[in-house]
Structure 1
Amino acid sequence: MNNLGLNAAHAKNWQCYLDYWGYRPGTIDGQLGTDSWKAAQRLFNDYGHSGSHKLVVDGIVGTNTIKALQRFLNWSGVEHLAVDGVAGPDTRAAFWRATRAC
């Protein structure tokens, strides 16, 4: 499980968002495990947030998945994150803000 600093309520909101858009994150339980991250990776690939190369949909939260998340958060229009693949405090705070509601 890798919630990137989200509590269970915020993680459920992210899972709800993924499920709403048809990405099937598995059980909406507030635990961002492999199924949730596979769903996110599919979303990032489908919407071009993965960059010039498609992400391997493996559910592992590595550098490329973090970069895709940062691009997604920037695309949402309220963030101006460096796309560096590091889940530092700015990325974690932006993810927290983006998951306040489903």
Structure 2
Amino acid sequence: MRSHVLARTIVSLTAVAGIAAGSLAVAGTSYAASAPTAQSVVAAPAAATSTENFGLTTAEAINVQTFLAGDWNYTGKLDGQLGTESWKAFQRCLKKYWGYTGNIDGDPGSNTIMALQRLLKDSYGYTGKIDGIAGTETRAAFKRFAA
């Protein structure tokens, strides 16, 4: 009787091992890489220079660019589009006088806006929080700055 139980146990273990091995083999083929497909390569268009005027008209933005050209090494066009080069020049100003601590990268992100808000609070009637959000109060004070 004991040999019969032993034999049945061995058969059961062998069956379990076989099932497990078969499952692994199937799993291996189910995850096999498919044949490569031909794809055409399309060149991405060049990134357009984005502008952020924060509500300024073209004429007002030209006033800002003129200010930046006079004192902050802005050498771009006076086109009324505050793009990367305009914001780099503005960041140089903000870094020197208004506590901007970020990189001079031309991205008018929240750090740039907080420094701009400090400038606007000092002399252009901004009464909101220094929160890095260019909301309606920030935009109104920026228009006064640009006038």
List gaps (5 residues or longer) in structure 2: 1-50
Aligned counterpart, 1:10: 60
Structure 2 length normalisation: TM-score?
0.62
Aligned counterpart, 2:99: 49
1:35 aligns with 2:85: yes
Aligned counterpart, 1:74: 121
1:57-87 residue CA offsets vs partner (Å, 9 max, x unmatched): 1101110010011011112253333211000
Mapped partners of 1:56, 1:35: distance in 2: 13
Q: Which amino acid aligns with 1:7?
A: T
Whose Rg is larger? 2
Higher RCO by CA contacts (8 Å cutoff, separation 6 or greater): 1
Please tell me the root mean square deviation across aligned C-alpha atoms, in Å: 1.4
Structure 1 length normalisation: TM-score?
0.87
1:26-64 residue CA offsets vs partner (Å, 9 max, x unmatched): 2111000000000000110111432xxx22111011100
SS at match of 1:43: helix
Residues 61 and 77 of structure 1: CA distance in aligned 2, closer, same or farther (over 3 Å): closer
- Pick the structure with more helix per residue: 2
Residues 57 and 22 of structure 1: CA distance in aligned 2, closer, same or farther (over 3 Å): closer
- Matched pairs, number: 97
Q: Which amino acid aligns with 2:71?
A: W
